[in-house]
Amino acid sequence: MTAIRWAVNLPLPGRALRDHREVIEALPGLGYADVWTGEGGGIDAFTPLAAAAAWRPDLGVGTGVVPVSTRGPAVLAQTAAALSELAAERVMLGLGTSVPAHVTALNGIPFAKPVARLRDTVRFLKTALRGDPVDEEYETFTVRGYRPPPLAAVPPKIIVGALRPRMVRLGLTEGDGVITNVLAAGDLERVLAEAGPLPLDKEFVVKLFVCPTEDTAHARRTGRAFLGWILNQAPYRAFHDWLGHGDRLTESRTLYDSGHGAAAGLALPDDIVDALWIHGSLDECRQRIARFAQPGVTSILLFVAPTPELLKSHHTLPNLLAHLHPSPQTNNPTR
């Protein structure tokens, strides 16, 4: 079994992006091989990765995920090529359909044919990032006269934000792998089973949300604020219906659809919040994270949420990250 690569999501809690350098430079010694970002309503995905690649070029960098509708396909290719010039390690360009709240509400871009747009973007990027020119009409866009920049020593990989089987198959057949999130360890078993045997050259990345605090009220409060929103977005509703959790989310969905977003979070059952928003002591969090290190998983990405301990400096980020890492023997990943 190939060693799992461990990663953290940027920005890390409790500090400005400009103050990340010390932690970024320490990550390989703490057992982390990669840094990732997401993109929605906060800062953009690529600026933190460019900074990290400049500070520590031997870290891999990845996006988990960038919406395919908010940038043109050529701009995505150019950005991935530039990151590959900065990073001596690998670049993982994670792409997703996103949701209307990010694509239309924030950017004024129609949320039209999202899955087709994602598929077309993956196809374009697989051609462009292997160094071939592109002049082609796809279903959702047309590219004329694209000429790629010189190839990087390690070409970027293209992975797909995937929840249910259709998207998992897209990532594994047309892309270089998938990244999934907002699921419990038992749910991951089902997703991996649907994926089937994973080819050695494909990636399967799992993003976990971790709030390492023994203040249960704080953890559940922050977890509900996030989960009350994301679980009520259409792709995640369909995902949790497929997983068999839909009946237990009915009250939250009704409140959300009535315009009561905060109440929708409060209506989530405690055990669902606890399963999707990992919290507890550092030892408890580490043990729960370790349950996701299942056969087929190639990377585990930790999104660390702010905690009272971090704000009061009872934990430092490097020590916290070191304690969350479940398996010291994976410190030297081979893929």
Domain ranges across the chain: 5-213+285-330, 215-279
pTM for the full model?
0.95
Both structure tokens of 74: 């050529």
Nearest-angstrom CA–CA distance, 274 and 308: 18
Each residue's pLDDT, cut to its tens digit, for the chain (335 residues) gives 568 999 999 999 988 999 999 999 999 999 999 999 999 888 999 999 999 999 999 999 999 999 999 999 999 999 999 999 999 889 999 999 999 999 999 999 999 999 999 999 999 999 999 999 999 999 999 999 999 998 888 889 999 999 999 999 999 999 999 999 999 999 999 999 989 998 889 999 999 999 999 999 999 999 999 999 999 999 999 999 999 999 999 999 999 999 999 999 999 999 999 999 999 999 999 999 999 999 999 999 999 999 998 888 756 899 999 999 876 544 333 33
Look at residue 311 in the predicted model and tell me its pLDDT.
Answer: 82
Pinpoint the alpha helices (H) of 164-215.
165-173, 185-195
- Burial of 258-285, coded b for 16+ CB within 10 Å and e otherwise, reads eeeeebbbebbeeebbbbbbbbbebeeb
Helix (H, G, I), strand (E, B) or coil at 179: strand
Look at residue 88 in the predicted model and tell me its pLDDT.
Answer: 84
Check if the beta carbon of residue 157 is closer than 8 Å to that of residue 92: yes
Q: CA of 62: how far to CAs of 102, 105, 171, 218, 274, in Å?
A: 20, 25, 15, 29, 27
Residue 302: which of 214, 207, 173, 225 has the closest Cα? 207
CA 202 to chain centre: 16
CB atoms within 10 A of CB 249: 22
Look at residue 225 in the predicted model and tell me its pLDDT.
Answer: 97
Q: Domain 5-213+285-330 is in which class?
A: alpha beta
Helix (H, G, I), strand (E, B) or coil at 201: coil
Look at residue 327 in the predicted model and tell me its pLDDT.
Answer: 65
Cis bond leading into 182, ω under 30°?
Answer: no
Residue 236: which of 223, 7, 245 has the closest Cα? 245
Q: How many CA atoms lie within 13 A of 129 on its CB side?
A: 30
Look at residue 334 in the predicted model and tell me its pLDDT.
Answer: 37
Look at residue 329 in the predicted model and tell me its pLDDT.
Answer: 43
Nearest-angstrom CA–CA distance, 187 and 192: 9
Look at residue 332 in the predicted model and tell me its pLDDT.
Answer: 38
Residue count of the chain:
335
Nearest-angstrom CA–CA distance, 253 and 8: 31
Both structure tokens of 217: 């009220």
